């Protein structure tokens, strides 16, 4: 069976960029430190940060599984 994807596509690529994670984290901490932030605004910011982390971890896990299938040949 031939490989359809370019070999460079099998390497994990950090996405979203570290800067995006850092911006989300800073926003959550700024809202925590601010006494003016509403609960829903804080909850939404925390949810966005958690979802970004989870989807990135899931993406890395899927790439790990894909590499395992290539080795099993």
Interatomic CA distance for residues 73 and 24, integer angstroms: 41
Q: Is 16 helix (H, G, I), strand (E, B) or coil?
A: coil
Tens digits of residue pLDDT in 10-67: 555 555 567 888 888 899 889 888 877 788 888 999 999 999 888 888 888 888 888 8
Contact 63, 12 (CB under 8 A): yes
Which residues contact residue 54 at a Cβ distance below 8 angstroms, ignoring those fewer than 6 apart? none
pTM score over 0.85: no
17/37 Cα distance (integer angstroms): 26
């Amino acid at each position: 069976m031939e490989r359809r994807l370019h070999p460079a596509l099998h390497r994990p690529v950090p996405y979203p960029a570290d800067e995006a994670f850092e911006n989300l984290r800073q926003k959550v901490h700024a809202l925590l430190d601010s006494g003016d932030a509403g609960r829903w605004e804080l909850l939404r910011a925390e949810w966005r940060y958690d979802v970004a982390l989870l989807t990135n971890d899931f993406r890395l896990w899927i790439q790990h599984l894909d590499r395992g299938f290539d080795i099993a040949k």
